[in-house]
Amino acid sequence: MKNKKVKIHIPIRSSFFMGKSGFTMIEMIVALGIFSVVAVVALGALVRIISANHKAQAIQEAFTNLNFAFESMSRELRVGTSYHCVIDGNFNYNGSSGLTVNKCNLGRNSGIFFESSRTPASGDQCRLVYAYRFYGDPTDGYQLMKAQQNLCADNINLLQNNSNGFLPVISSNVVITDYRLAVMSQEENGTALPYPRILVRLIGYAGVDEKEKTYFDVQTSITQRVKQ
């Protein structure tokens, strides 16, 4: 007896053949609304992350620049002598006449000259003179700048409105809106100090956009470590 093959037919029901649509207009509107809300929330989170990253970079840049500036000044001034505060903005130093001590109270003084512990590469026994100055105005901001001699006979003669010969210490992305500088002698307010001392205060901000700006107000005290 031969086996008979039985064919089973399974009807396929298709919405196409049944004349039914896939989505209604209301379903499409609801889906687009949900997608839009999710997209807006995700975009807002992304913008906040980018803004937070820019602010973190501004904080890091401000910290790095201020730390470098204070460390650079402290390293040179601690082993320097003959601190000469520049009050009137005129940086005039004659290499043949030496440097005189000049103290000043805490204020918007222009900068400071001092004798460095370093000597010229030529082998002369004289001590080179360095200078730190603040150049600029409150509107555009101030720059902390540095100049130094190459030879002991070199003169430094720079007026307040001339920054030639000085190199910036802090990045231009960090804006100093105000500053204070003081050179205190061994006798200040009736109290004997073992060594002269310098006070430096910097006020300003880092960052471009107002929401991303990081404001700072920092101060350091530098004490001379060698005798006159």
| pLDDT in single tens digits along all 228 residues of the chain | 555 555 555 555 554 445 555 667 887 888 888 888 888 888 888 888 877 777 777 788 778 888 888 888 888 898 888 888 988 777 776 666 667 788 899 999 989 988 888 777 766 677 788 889 888 888 888 989 888 876 776 666 554 445 567 888 888 888 899 999 999 875 555 565 667 889 999 999 887 777 778 888 999 999 888 665
The dihedrals phi and psi of 218, each to the nearest 5 degrees, come to -120, 155
- pTM of the prediction? 0.69
| SS3 state at 18 | coil
Tokens of 6: 């039985």
**Tokens 């920054």 sit on residue:** 163
Q: What is the pLDDT of residue 184?
A: 84
**Tokens 């802090």 sit on residue:** 170
Tokens of 66: 């201020």
The residue count for the chain:
228
The residues with which 217 forms a beta bridge, in sequence order, are 203
- For the chain, the 3-state helix, strand and coil shares in percent, each to the nearest 5, are 25, 35, 40
Cα dihedral across residues 93, 99, 100, 104: positive or negative: positive
